[in-house]
Structure formats: C-alpha cells, structure tokens
Amino acid sequence: MSVLPIVTYNDPVLKQKTQPIDENSPELQKLIDDMFDTMYNSSGVGLAAPQIGKLIQLFVMDADAVTEEMEGEKSLGPLVLINPEIVETAGDKVKMEEGCLSIPDVRDDVVRPEKVKIDYLDRNFEKKTLEADGWVSRVIQHEYDHLQGVLFLDYLSAFRRRLHKSLLKKIDKGTLKVEYPVVPKG
C-alpha cells in the first residue's frame, strides 16, 4: 500500500466528470487500499479518485473520527463507494463548514441537503444503498461532487471566493506548505 500525491486546486482533472468502473480487479483493490492510506495520511475523512488524478467513479470515506464526537451521529467505519448515484436528497438545507484535501487550508460554509440516499457498489462489487444524514451525508455529497467535476468552492459566492484568493494563488503556484504529498497544477 502507498500514499499517493493529491492533485490540488485548479488542476483540470478536478473539473472533469468521471467514468464508471466496469469490473473488479486486483489493480482496483490496490488503488482502494492506496486511497485509504492517502486519506488517513492526509487526516481526511473522504477521498475521491479525481483527487489522485483518476477519472473513475470511486471514492472512499471514513467519517468516524468526526461522528464519534457528535451526539446522534452513527459510525459506519471505512466505506468504499464505486459507481455511486445519489437517488434522493431530503430535509432542510444545512450550512456547515467544509474543506478539501485538494484545496488545503481553505474552509468555508456550504449549504447542502441534510439527508442523502445513495446507491453504489461496495469494494466486493455488491449493490448497496445507504441513507445518511448529518456529517456522513455531508461527506458523501462532497465526495460525490468530485465525481461530477464540482468543488465545494463552486457553491461559494464570488465575494466568498475572493476572500480565499491569496491562498488559492499559493495552492495554484505550489508555494503553500502542505503536510501531505500534493501535485500542484504544473
């Protein structure tokens, strides 16, 4: 297993839609393990394939570090979502702060539906459906967006984006000090 470098803000791969995964393979299983290693090494709770330069419909997540500290949130452990499809969102629109491993040190409030229902294949290619709310729903929606070529910055107003301009420039130039391996746009 390996820690992979994470693609950073403004790399074109982060704005592209991903392709479905047709079959399970030893290479896919190794990639999943590497993605978990990369996510944990970066102190993240989710990582989508485009963030490591792969345009496939895959993300991994483990929100337990956050849910264990929040009353009423259930822990699910590490999850692998292959070819996910959000089939329903519900509940109130909730504002919560988000960040992204591809946009280090930038955090801002994003409004998303409180609940989500998602169909996916697990790492054994078994069909699953997950209904989630709270923090887990937030992570799922954030990572799913990556598979659609959408970043959390896309939800911000022009004014809010301007507030992050200096950090975004540092990320784009590769001059921001990051505690995990990254691949700045080059």
pLDDT computed for residue 68 by the predictor: 57
Q: What is the mean pLDDT of residues 88-104?
A: 96
- Residue-range domains of the chain with CATH: 6-183 (3.90.45.10)
Render pLDDT for 128-168 as a digit per residue (tens, 0 to 9). 999 999 889 999 999 999 999 999 999 999 999 999 999 99
User: 173-182: which pairs have CB atoms within 8 A and are 24 or more residues apart?
Assistant: 174/8, 176/104, 176/105, 178/104, 179/42, 179/43, 180/3, 180/6, 180/38, 180/41, 180/42, 180/43, 180/101, 181/3, 181/4, 181/5, 181/6, 182/5, 182/6, 182/7, 182/8, 182/104
Q: Kindly name the residue from 69, 85, 97, 143 that is annotated as catalytic.
A: 143
Instruction: Tell me the pTM.
Output: 0.93
143 carries an active-site annotation? yes
pLDDT reading at 115 higher than 60: yes
Render pLDDT for 25-80 as a digit per residue (tens, 0 to 9). 999 999 999 999 999 999 999 999 999 999 999 999 998 766 555 555 666 889 99
